[in-house]
Structure 1
Amino acid sequence: MALNISAGDHVLDLCAAPGAKLCMILDLLGDSGSVTGVDVARHRLAACRTMLQKYSLGDRCRLFVADGVTFSLIPAGSCSDSKPCESDLTEKVDIFKEWTSRRTWKERKKARKSGPPQLVSRSQPPELIYYGRHSGVVGLTKEDLYKIVSDREIMSSGYNKVLVDAECTHDGSVKHIQKFEHWGWKTLQRRVLDAERTDNLHVLQLSLLTNGFRLLKVGGSLVYSTCSLTVAQNEDVIEQFLKENASAELQEIDAARSWPCKGGRVEKTWRFDPLTSQTSGLFVAKFTKLAI
């Protein structure tokens, strides 16, 4: 895997739903470290939570409904990595206890009245909808959990690994494109071919990549990926990001040498496509953060 997950890593999946990648990361992580999953769609992240519980992989995971462009929380402190500090317990009353799926009557009533699924806005604070026993949350207060730290602190206390599998037009996904036979080609025009939508996606993808990189600690690795075949959503995003971030450097993906793929237009980036790879389309680039 391009991220090269190691024991003890603190990993951020900035566009986590529906959860297959998150489960794979947790499986690779084993019995140390943590994973933070973030997604802007509450109903999709709820499906992610269900998957974690189904496969018993959520012990070191926490899930936040939040916009990945503005999410700013770093990994939970090591003090609560396994159990709360005794000194804290004597002083703090309002602490997170072990997570339970049981909801109060008021919460169930609110959910029934919420209507159709909606995306959270960038101004809304992150909402924690799941945390495992060893995710670092148990024993913290809300003030501790939602504490915003400076960019200087992130340099040393941020995430070891960040995955930005960004929202895209999915034009490289064979199964996704086949769905338009049912949805209609006008929908294809609106979702994939519309110039305004692709321009907006470019801005979103660059913003997600920029924020994910901001939350990465020095020496850490970030992987940016899409399932689009277009240059605008891949190499153009990478080139603009590198121009705007002097501490970012593209890394070689050693595993790619054995992958059925080809190099992208930007050196050290990789592309999968139906012709070369006999798979759906995929773009992958890996960065590290330098100390400057």
Structure 2
Amino acid sequence: MLEPRENPLSYIAYERALGYVYIQEGGSMIPPLFLEPKPEDYVLDMCAAPGSKTTQIAQLMKNKGAIIANDVSLKRISSLGFNLQLCGVINTAVTMFDGRKLPSIIKDHFDKVLVDAPCSSSGHFLSKFPSNFTEERVKSLHVLQRGLLIAGFKMLKPGGILVYSTCSIHPFENEAVVNYLLSKEGKARVEYFEIKGIRFHPGLTEYKEKTFHPDLKYCMRIYPHDNYTDAFFIARIRKER
């Protein structure tokens, strides 16, 4: 029992240090739920560090199956390994590659792939709007995001599920990226998926003078006022057999 006037957050920090809990922003917990990982699955988390979604996926898989947690940054890989160990994750191997180059090593292999892509973080209205948000940076990220999504899809088994997500609200980082995949990969299909109790908006099928594939309406846009979280974009994509 807490002593009078004792801050309950001190107990959360203590349990976090012991690996009993992982403090995570609410919106960022939704993409792994879209992935629906099963204990028997072989899963790739392409941009895994620092590990919040990887540890959540491991929990959903009951620490069974197998997860490849990849990231390109040596500094971020260190935090990824630390968090996996702290949380007692034993079904995960850590790799350090440019995700865009992974299909040269492995293709058509994973049951589930998560591409939580690097983004402008323009959805962080509730915490701190990014000071380095510029149109030039968004364009550069768009190219990177397209490469990661295409690579992730190539590594997905026929019938498998890929989830693409960002914490950005910019269509150029979201619908435009998924639209590019649909234009290049004939077996890619965007699936409608929702989670009970989560308020959301459909993906955009047009933006300014651009028109996107009509199936992009099946994507999910979450704004800060919907569930009092940071904004998120999520697309669930299946590779047809």
2:145 alignment partner AA: Q
Q: CA deviation at 1:9?
A: 0.3
Residues 82-128 of structure 1, C-alpha deviations (whole Å, 9 max, x = no match): xxxxxxxxxxxxxxxxxxxxxxxxxxxxxxxxxxxxxxxxxxxxxxx
Choose which of 23, 37, 47 in structure 2 pairs with 1:15: 47
SS at match of 1:22: helix
Partner of 1:72: 103
Aligned positions of 1:129-140 closer than 5 A: none
Alpha carbons of structure 1 residues 22 and 212: separation in structure 2 relative to 1, 3 Å? same
Residues 63-84 of structure 1, C-alpha deviations (whole Å, 9 max, x = no match): 01111111238xxxxxxxxxxx
Partner of 2:176: 236
Using the size of structure 2 for normalisation, the TM-score is 0.78
Partner of 2:227: 277
Question: Displaced runs of 4+ in structure 1, greater than 3 A?
Answer: none
Q: CA deviation at 1:55?
A: 1.5
Choose which of 133, 137, 141 in structure 2 pairs with 1:192: 133
1:63 alignment partner AA: V
Distance 1:213 1:254 in 2: 21
Q: CA deviation at 1:277?
A: 2.8
Q: CA deviation at 1:239?
A: 1.1
Alpha carbons of structure 1 residues 236 and 220: separation in structure 2 relative to 1, 3 Å? same
Distance 1:24 1:222 in 2: 16
Q: CA deviation at 1:160?
A: 0.3
Larger radius of gyration: 1
Residues 160-216 of structure 1, C-alpha deviations (whole Å, 9 max, x = no match): 0000000000010135535x6xxxxxxx2xx212x2221111110010000001000
SS at match of 1:69: helix
1:61 alignment partner AA: T
Give unmatched runs, 5+ long, in structure 2: 1-32, 205-215
Distance 2:219 2:147 in 1: 19
1:62 alignment partner AA: A
Distance 2:38 2:194 in 1: 15
Distance 1:24 1:272 in 2: 20
Q: Decide whether the 8 Å contact of 1:251 with 1:268 is kept in 2.
A: yes
Q: Decide whether the 8 Å contact of 1:39 with 1:65 is kept in 2.
A: yes
2:133 alignment partner AA: V
User: Is the counterpart of residue 41 in structure 1 residue 64 in structure 2?
Assistant: no
Q: Decide whether the 8 Å contact of 1:168 with 1:201 is kept in 2.
A: yes
Distance 2:234 2:34 in 1: 8
1:288 alignment partner AA: R
Give unmatched runs, 5+ long, in structure 1: 74-147, 181-187
RMSD of aligned alpha carbons: 1.6
Tell which deviates more after alignment, 166-175 or 208-217. 166-175
Q: CA deviation at 1:11?
A: 0.5
SS at match of 2:35: coil
User: Is the counterpart of residue 171 in structure 1 residue 122 in structure 2?
Assistant: yes
Q: Decide whether the 8 Å contact of 1:171 with 1:177 is kept in 2.
A: no
Distance 1:234 1:3 in 2: 17
Partner of 1:142: none
User: Is the counterpart of residue 217 in structure 1 residue 167 in structure 2?
Assistant: no
Using the size of structure 1 for normalisation, the TM-score is 0.65
Aligned positions of 1:84-163 closer than 5 A: 148=105, 154-155=107-108, 158-163=109-114
User: Is the counterpart of residue 226 in structure 1 residue 176 in structure 2?
Assistant: no
Distance 1:18 1:224 in 2: 17
Percent of residue pairs bearing the same amino acid type = 32
Distance 2:230 2:64 in 1: 33
Q: Decide whether the 8 Å contact of 1:170 with 1:176 is kept in 2.
A: no
